[in-house]
């Protein structure tokens, strides 16, 4: 990893730069595939599935028989673990249900707000080198709690034309309406336009590589909403000498193994800790099955020494990490003052892996600095807030003149007339 000592504030943008390609470098490919899918539907999907996944499919839809076979193939111990995680995720997300908000803003003027589910959602589940069946839980569970009617799961097939058994099992366990063997840009395009095999949806959820992220952003140009621009995984740890260097190294590597374009950072006021963590990373890296991937991610990552906790906090808020681990004596400062982070993990015994799988919080989070403006996926991500109002005769008398004056001042006479005609009837 690259060690940087007391970087000047003017250099922070370059120090904190993510190892991601520019949108321009990717957009041409994404646009080409979107146009093809919009025009040719399933045939274009099949073409790109063969090109990128190396397989020709008889059908994109996972059949009932395949669901049954996949469920049987998942070991009982793993099924129990998935069910335990499901319970915790349900508990946390059910607690997010909010009541109807109602208030009389003036005598005779009643206003209220109610939540309604988004009827059709697309849930993108990354496959590739690490089939993320945990992401199925993180997306399908809140979608079901919210009351979404259609949950369309898309995930790339392997060379045998199958989706990982664990993904299929988790999808059926959590109530997926359809499970479709399509990944990458073509999956996002299919969910955007709809094809004979892939239903069109109103909102697309789920993480992915840089191509999937740009594809999701392009989908918004065609009237489809997205959860957030969630790209390659990232983690920032702030720690001091009270932290366990082995624990810190294990957390950094847990995200580095996601992909070669992942990024992990350690920020500390202690050069001693930085040195200890670096040694631990080298030691733990040697026994990782995904060593090659983690090594490339580590090459993009940094160990940053700063003089004070205050500087560390400012730098971290500037970066806006997806995952943020606080492991130092002065944890209250960072807990209270962090404003830009997707999900926060506090203390020596709160590994980021807990949030990825089973503590209950959601692991679909904003990356690439988008935590400055976006929340991670939560129950409200799957709902819309609709406002209602009912005004009595008394209520219209109370606020009618205000409406008339404001409408006239804006030059909108018909707006004024809609009130005036009613007030005249009430007076007469």
Higher pLDDT, 131 or 172: 172
Query: Looking at the predicted structure, is the pLDDT value of residue 301 above 70?
Result: yes
Ordered structural domains, the chain, with CATH: 2-16+232-360 (3.40.50.1980), 23-229 (3.40.50.1980), 392-427 (1.20.5.1300)
- Say what the pTM is: 0.94
- CA distance linking residue 79 with residue 407, whole number of Å: 61
pLDDT tens, residue by residue, 309-350: 999 999 999 999 999 999 999 999 999 999 999 999 999 999
Look at residues 208, 173, 168 and name the one whose alpha carbon lies nearest to residue 191.
208
Other CB atoms within 10 Å distance of the CB of residue 59 = 12
Other CB atoms within 10 Å distance of the CB of residue 416 = 19
| Mean pLDDT over each residue of the chain, to the nearest integer | 96
HSE (side-chain half, CA atoms, 13 Å) at 374: 20
Query: Which tokens belong to 126?
Result: 């990354």
- CA distance linking residue 308 with residue 260, whole number of Å: 31
Query: Which tokens belong to 162?
Result: 């199958």
Query: Looking at the predicted structure, is the pLDDT value of residue 232 above 90?
Result: no
pLDDT tens, residue by residue, 148-194: 999 999 999 999 999 999 999 999 999 999 999 999 999 999 999 99
- CA distance linking residue 374 with residue 367, whole number of Å: 9
- CA distance linking residue 358 with residue 88, whole number of Å: 6
Q: What is the percent of the chain where pLDDT is above 90?
A: 92
Lay out the sheet containing 383-391: strands in order across.
101-106, 109-117, 383-391
Query: Looking at the predicted structure, is the pLDDT value of residue 368 above 80?
Result: yes
Query: Looking at the predicted structure, is the pLDDT value of residue 408 above 90?
Result: yes
Query: Looking at the predicted structure, is the pLDDT value of residue 128 above 90?
Result: no
Average pLDDT over residues 198-225: 95
Confidence of residue 22 (pLDDT cuts 50, 70, 90): low
Other CB atoms within 10 Å distance of the CB of residue 426 = 11
372-406: b or e for each residue (b if 16 or more CB lie within 10 Å)?
eebbbbbbebbbeeeeeeebeeebbbbbbeebbee
The label of the residue with tokens 């963590």 reads 277
* Residues forming the active site: 322-323
- CA distance linking residue 20 with residue 368, whole number of Å: 8
pLDDT for position 21: 62
Nearest-5° angle of CA 300, CA 303, CA 308?
140
Confidence of residue 259 (pLDDT cuts 50, 70, 90): confident
Confidence of residue 41 (pLDDT cuts 50, 70, 90): very high
3-state SS, residue 289: coil
């Amino acid at each position: 990893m690259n060690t940087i000592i007391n970087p000047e504030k003017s250099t922070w943008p370059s120090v904190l730069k993510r190892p991601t390609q520019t949108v321009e470098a990717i957009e041409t490919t994404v646009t080409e595939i979107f146009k093809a899918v919009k025009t040719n539907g399933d045939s274009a999907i099949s073409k790109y599935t063969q090109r990128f996944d190396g397989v020709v499919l008889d059908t994109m839809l996972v059949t009932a028989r395949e669901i049954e076979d996949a469920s049987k193939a998942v070991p009982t111990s793993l099924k129990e673990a998935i069910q335990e995680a499901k319970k915790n995720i349900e508990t946390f997300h059910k607690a997010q249900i909010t009541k109807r908000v109602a208030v009389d803003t003036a005598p005779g003027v009643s206003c209220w707000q109610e939540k309604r589910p988004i009827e059709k959602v697309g849930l993108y589940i990354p496959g590739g080198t690490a089939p993320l069946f945990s992401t199925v839980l993180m997306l399908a569970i809140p979608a079901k709690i919210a009351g979404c009617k259609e949950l369309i799961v898309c995930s790339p097939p392997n060379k045998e034309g199958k989706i990982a058994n664990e993904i299929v099992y988790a999808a059926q366990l959590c109530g997926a309406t359809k499970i479709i063997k399509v990944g990458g840009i073509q999956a996002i395009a299919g969910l955007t336009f709809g094809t004979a095999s892939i239903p069109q949806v109103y909102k697309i959820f789920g993480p992915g590589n840089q191509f999937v992220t740009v594809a999701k952003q392009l989908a918004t140009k065609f009237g489809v909403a997205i959860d957030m621009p969630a790209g390659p995984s990232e983690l920032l740890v702030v720690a001091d000498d009270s932290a366990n260097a082995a624990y810190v190294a294990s957390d950094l590597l847990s995200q580095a193994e996601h992909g070669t374009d992942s990024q992990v950072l350690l920020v500390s006021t202690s050069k001693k800790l930085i040195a200890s963590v670096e040694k631990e990373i080298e030691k733990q890296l040697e026994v990782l099955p995904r060593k090659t991937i983690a090594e490339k991610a580590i090459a993009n990552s940094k160990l940053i020494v700063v003089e004070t906790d205050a500087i560390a906090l400012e730098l971290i808020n500037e970066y806006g990490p997806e995952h943020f681990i606080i492991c130092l004596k002065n944890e209250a400062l960072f807990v209270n003052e962090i404003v830009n982070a997707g999900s926060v993990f506090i203390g020596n015994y709160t590994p980021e892996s807990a949030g990825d799988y089973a503590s209950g919080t959601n692991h679909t989070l904003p990356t690439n600095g988008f935590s400055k403006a976006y929340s991670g996926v939560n129950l409200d991500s799957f709902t819309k807030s609709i406002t209602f109002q009912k005004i009595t005769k008394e209520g219209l008398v109370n606020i009618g003149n205000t409406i008339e004056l404001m409408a006239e001042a804006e030059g909108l006479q018909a707006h004024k007339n809609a009130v005036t005609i009613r007030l005249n009837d009430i007076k007469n």
